[in-house]
Structure 1
């Protein structure tokens, strides 16, 4: 009986998060509740699903990889996250920036995050088909190459199933509407859980 009790106790301990974690979301308008109040965005919905963790949203509408790279050192110092979700590149692509420059900036961002001991979750980004097959493929390869070179987790783009559905998009055709936010939070949550060591839901 005593051995069984100890085994059950051990199982319960391993199924419980060791401690609350601080999670930093470093993104653009797709993560910044663009076009709606902040409390309706997917980051707030994610907070509701992971109440034991502190989630800081440092996403800025219109942000590029270069802009985020400039902001990152101060954010890492002030927030001291255990995990950073990097959702960047859409604005680089929409402005036709070089995939090589995007890769350089994202690599620097990930290197900075790793230097603090934090984990990295990188979101894949897909370009609209009207940007041309060649550019879209080169853009996509950036994320695949970084995943391999940096040995990090690459989360599939959460707009993949939302963007084709006009009922889930704002009138601009670029941003998810309020109806899409719950779906995004459900998409992101298991990837966050997967990357946080010692956390099971």
Structure 2
């Protein structure tokens, strides 16, 4: 084989080996792109930029040597209805390989029907899956003053949606924070939004369910 033919024959495989990311693209494998669709708990409300669990997720991915782009599409005060209306454009724009849905808490704070929240969450999970994304649903719970029955039903709807749609679930984003004996010292003055020191624990809850999807 002549030298020029040998170079032409070997240059592409050699380049793919030297640049793993290019090998993924050439093989038709899309790079990981994670869209987080959430509310104030994911939008760094009341804490310094870069200290929220979504920002910490980016660093975690780097530490784990998992190449991925994270798009934080969270808006403080957003409801499941708001997220549902925003999702189609986000899916079209970012084409995520993974979708994390952290919504529903504001539905409860506003006293919206649980059936509406469940319908919206289910629609978002289905839309994400139809777009080719692996979906992680992040559950929430409400304080005891909402009543035991309402609290159980609200927490259960996340489990019900995840089970019906066969998708991954983080049962309670604030586990290890809201249920600890000194919980008050882990929240801002409104007793709703966690302090920055709580966000590594929140990431830990999400990571347990997200890691197998990656």
For Structure 1 versus Structure 2, the TM-score category normalised by the shorter chain is 0.7 to 0.9
Are positions 1:89 and 2:104 aligned together?
A: yes
Unaligned runs of 5+ residues in structure 1 are 1-16, 197-201
Unmatched 5+ residue regions in structure 2?
Answer: 1-23
Q: Report what 1:104 is aligned to.
A: 119
Aligned positions of 1:18-97 closer than 5 A: 20-51=31-62, 52-97=67-112
Number of residue-to-residue matches in the alignment: 180
For 1:38, what is the secondary structure of its paired residue? Answer: coil
**C-alpha distance after superposition, 1:33-86 (max 9, x if no partner):** 000232111111110110221011001100000000110000001111001011
The reply to whether residue 183 of structure 1 matches residue 198 of structure 2 is no
Any runs of at least 4 consecutive aligned residues in structure 1 with deviations exceeding 4 A, and if so which?
Answer: none
Q: Counterpart in 1 of 2:189? A: 171
Maintained 8 Å contact 2:34/2:69: yes
Task: Give the superposition deviation at 1:189.
Answer: 2.1
Rg (Cα) greater in structure: 2
Q: Is the 8 A contact 1:32 1:38 kept in 2?
A: no
Question: Contact 1:163/1:174 (CA < 8 Å) preserved in 2?
Answer: no
Partner in structure 2 of residue 12 of structure 1: none
Whether 2:213 is the aligned partner of 1:195: answer: yes
Given the two structures, how large is their TM-score scaled by the length of structure 2?
0.80
